[in-house]
């Protein structure tokens, strides 16, 4: 693709990656499909396929980059011999609906072909600030006792990962986790617009993420910043307030006029805000009926107005869609629910699936580092998060289970610092099917894997410690039962109508709750009655497509 303006900085993706050396450390912005410089990553991957170089690379990703489908992101570089090491704040592990395959990078990790490390996104973001400041490293109390703690693996995801990238240290009598800094040679970032000097603006992007931080860190290391943009405009044609990153920090500009905004979305202006809320809410998709929808509906009952609430991936991010369907969230009330995600979009409606991370019709957007400053400060009082496993010791796991290696993402920082926690998920997984008949929940087919296990396979957060030591309130919500997390274990507080406690709750757990509440309640009958009506009227399908 030819640029309309030719200067020393505007070049093809192939030219931009041509001088990346074997053994270099490269970094890239990207949040799933959002702000992923996919054209540049593809060019680097193709160069290795064609020539065998560069090889032995270290790849640093503050957040998992790409969807491994149409926006391949990190998967462009998942070639044996190309990557020596990857350090990432999260990994992408979907099944491609067209091929039935999981990402190639996940195979390299499963087969121990590379050194793989998983850091919490809070650390992966804040570490960049320390690289930019040329400090010795990032010091934090967040994550102690979890899988990132050296006593529990230090974030190593493969046997090849031998180096201790995280250390436990004592400072003024207190124990902390310490992430030493190291050099980054090249950064790939993405924006909307550049001029011939490389001044960047993000007017078409729903997130900024770590873009500016990556540029500062790499330039502090004497490295090279490559920016992918949709267009180039004349220098001086934009107001300075529109340009967050000056061109002195950019070495190369690559134009991709076809860059996708996010998965399955070339561009959607509603993700940029500034639109009337009524029509926006009216266009939101209606979730098909499934167990996840029951979870999201019940979890929505925990939300409060005028409380900064952070929603994670999965059933928790479905909550606003269910709230919109029931009318709890409408053009008048939406401003009273202060929703955000770990990636810095504020207001509007948090989206789910591959559009998760950004909000429809947001009112403000913070960069990634500032968002985790806010999270670690405890300013998000309420958090709704997913769970893959919950064990008898009060440990929740979302970071590594079965053949999946997603990492923690922002989970650890969010869970450790919120005041009220809700963990959302189905009771079992792997083929679970449910239906509602006459206002009663029926388990058509039980899931193959239990989620309430004797011992979690990975420690993402110790919930009972948070309840005991920091007076957190924690609740687990499933489609058939609700539990309160107390300092000594789980208390069963609610059960769905139609569910048998013994055979469909207790017998499906590897451990028993410490107690069943004497005032055990039924989950809201209106929830189940409404679904029965919608299905009967043909307004809702019974299962997700």
Rounded to a whole number of angstroms, the CA Rg of the chain reads: 23
Other Cβ atoms less than 10 A from the Cβ of 257: the count is: 11
Other Cβ atoms less than 10 A from the Cβ of 364: the count is: 12
Q: Answer for the pair 246, 199: CB distance below 8 angstroms, yes or no.
A: yes
Distance from C-alpha of 92 to C-alpha of 32, rounded to nearest angstrom: 7
Contacts of residue 523, defined as CB under 8 A and 6 or more positions apart, other chains included, come to 298, 482, 494, 495, 496, 497
Residue 70 annotated among the catalytic residues of the structure: no
Nearest to 343 by CA among 168, 503, 208, 152: 208
Distance from C-alpha of 403 to C-alpha of 416, rounded to nearest angstrom: 26
Distance from C-alpha of 510 to C-alpha of 73, rounded to nearest angstrom: 39
- In DSSP terms, 178 is beta-bridged to 139, 167
Q: Answer for the pair 171, 136: CB distance below 8 angstroms, yes or no.
A: no
Length of the chain, in residues: 545
Contacts of residue 119, defined as CB under 8 A and 6 or more positions apart, other chains included, come to 87, 88, 89, 127, 148, 155, 165, 166, 179, 407
Residue 133 vs residues 130, 138, 220, 251, 508: alpha-carbon distances, Å: 5, 11, 8, 20, 51
Distance from C-alpha of 85 to C-alpha of 58, rounded to nearest angstrom: 5
Nearest to 88 by CA among 105, 70, 113, 68: 105
Nearest to 69 by CA among 37, 31, 98: 98
Contacts of residue 488, defined as CB under 8 A and 6 or more positions apart, other chains included, come to 464, 514
Reading the block at residue 389, the tokens are 């496993």
* Positive or negative: CA dihedral 362, 408, 54, 75: negative
Distance from C-alpha of 544 to C-alpha of 97, rounded to nearest angstrom: 14
Distance from C-alpha of 419 to C-alpha of 417, rounded to nearest angstrom: 7
Nearest to 441 by CA among 508, 366, 524: 524
> DSSP characters for 517-542?
EEEEEE--HHHHHHHHHHHHTTSS-S
Burial of 16 (0-12, 13-18, 19+ CB in 10 A): buried
Distance from C-alpha of 427 to C-alpha of 501, rounded to nearest angstrom: 13
Name the active-site residue from 115, 196, 205, 342: 342
Reading the block at residue 390, the tokens are 């919950």
- In DSSP terms, 118 is beta-bridged to 88
Q: Which residues are catalytic?
A: 342
């Amino acid at each position: 693709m030819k640029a309309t303006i030719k200067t020393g900085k505007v070049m093809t993706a192939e030219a931009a990656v041509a001088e990346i050396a074997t053994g270099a450390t490269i970094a890239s912005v990207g949040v799933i499909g959002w702000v992923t410089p996919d054209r540049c990553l593809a060019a680097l991957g193709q160069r290795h396929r064609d020539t065998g170089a560069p090889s032995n690379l270290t790849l640093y990703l503050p957040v998992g980059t790409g969807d491994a489908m149409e926006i391949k992101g990190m998967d462009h570089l998942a070639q044996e011999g190309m990557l020596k090491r990857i350090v990432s704040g999260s990994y992408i592990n979907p099944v491609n609906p067209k091929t039935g395959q999981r990402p190639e990078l996940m195979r390299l990790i499963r087969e121990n072909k590379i050194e793989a490390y998983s850091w919490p996104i809070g650390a992966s973001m804040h570490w960049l600030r320390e690289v930019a400041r040329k400090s010795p490293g990032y010091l934090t109390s967040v994550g102690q006792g979890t899988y990132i703690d050296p006593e529990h693996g230090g974030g190593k995801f493969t046997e090849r990962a031998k180096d201790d990238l995280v250390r436990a240290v004592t400072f003024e009598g207190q124990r902390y986790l310490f992430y030493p800094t190291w050099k980054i040679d090249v950064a790939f970032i993405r924006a909307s617009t550049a001029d011939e000097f490389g001044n960047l603006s993000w007017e078409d992007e729903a997130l900024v993420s770590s873009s500016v931080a990556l540029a500062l860190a790499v330039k502090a290391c004497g490295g090279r910043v490559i920016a992918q943009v949709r267009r180039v405009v004349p220098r001086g044609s934009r107001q300075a307030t529109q340009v967050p990153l000056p061109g002195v920090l950019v070495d190369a500009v690559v134009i991709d006029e076809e860059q996708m905004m996010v998965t399955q979305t070339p561009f959607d202006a509603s993700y940029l805000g500034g639109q009337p809320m009524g029509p926006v809410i009216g266009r939101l998709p209606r979730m098909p009926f499934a167990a996840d929808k029951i979870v999201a509906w019940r979890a929505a009952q925990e939300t409060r107005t005028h409380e900064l609430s952070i929603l994670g991936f999965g059933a928790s991010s479905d909550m606003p869609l269910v709230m919109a369907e029931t009318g709890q969230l409408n053009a008048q009330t939406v401003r009273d629910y202060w929703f955000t995600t770990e990636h810095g979009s504020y207001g509007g409606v948090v989206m789910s699936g591959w559009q998760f991370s950004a909000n429809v019709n947001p009112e403000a957007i913070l960069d990634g580092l500032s968002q985790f400053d806010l999270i670690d400060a405890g300013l998000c009082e309420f958090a709704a998060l997913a769970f893959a496993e919950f064990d008898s010791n009060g440990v929740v796991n979302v970071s590594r289970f079965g053949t999946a290696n997603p990492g923690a993402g922002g989970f650890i920082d969010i869970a450790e610092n919120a005041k009220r926690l809700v963990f959302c998920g189905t009771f079992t997984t792997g083929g679970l099917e449910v239906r509602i008949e006459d206002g009663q929940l029926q388990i058509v087919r039980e899931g193959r894997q239990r989620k309430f296990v004797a011992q979690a396979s990975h420690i993402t957060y110790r919930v009972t410690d948070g309840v005991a030591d920091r007076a957190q309130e924690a609740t687990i919500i499933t489609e058939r039962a609700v539990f309160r997390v107390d300092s000594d274990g789980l208390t069963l507080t609610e059960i769905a109508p139609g569910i048998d406690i013994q055979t469909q709750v207790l017998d499906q757990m590897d451990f028993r709750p410490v107690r069943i509440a004497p005032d055990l309640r039924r989950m809201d009958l209106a929830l189940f009655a409404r679904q029965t009506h919608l299905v009967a009227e043909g307004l809702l399908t019974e299962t997700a497509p």
